[in-house]
Amino acid sequence: MRQVIGYSLWIGNSADARDVPRLLDDGIEALIALALEEPPAALVRELVHCRFPLVDGAGNRPWLLRMAVNTVAALAAGGVQTLVSCGAGMSRSPAVAAMAIHRLSRKPPEDCLRGLADRGPLDVSPGLWGELVAAEMARKGD
């Protein structure tokens, strides 16, 4: 689990999402779970938990991608310490976090993703990233 410097966001994997003592020790207030294949984590009542079942590749519904990004961006804008997690913490969680950072910073999405890659390993699915970018462009066209 690693913190995104400058934001109240953390990126992690499914094991991080299940480590309740660590989440509480690190001050995490909300968990955004993005892995379709992972069962929901058993959490304490004090933690906000949102689950957006995304596949790690193409085939995600645009509205679901937008809702995941909207939620992460809103929590980060509010200063809520938020863990964004997926199976391995290498694709869905950094991709959605990068798009949320794009919303907050107005920097190009690719720059936001590159900024996350500078701080740790990533392996973002091109299909997923393409869908996130398309969903964001469609949102801006509304």
Residue 5 Cα to chain centre, angstroms:
14
Quote the pLDDT of residue 73.
98
6: nearest Cα among 99, 105, 106: 105
All domains of the chain in start order, with CATH: 2-141 (3.90.190.10)
Strands (E), 1-142: 2-4, 9-13, 30-35, 48-54, 82-86
Quote the pLDDT of residue 119.
87
| pLDDT digit string, tens, across residues 84-139 | 999 999 999 999 999 999 999 999 999 999 999 998 899 999 999 999 999 998 88
| 15, 80, 103 from 140: Cα distances, Å | 35, 25, 11
| 92, 96, 97, 108, 129 from 104: Cα distances, Å | 18, 13, 11, 11, 18
| pLDDT digit string, tens, across residues 5-21 | 999 999 999 999 999 99
| Helices 92-105 and 62-77, packing angle to 10 deg | 60
Mean pLDDT of 32-42: 94
Residue 2: strand pairing partners: 11
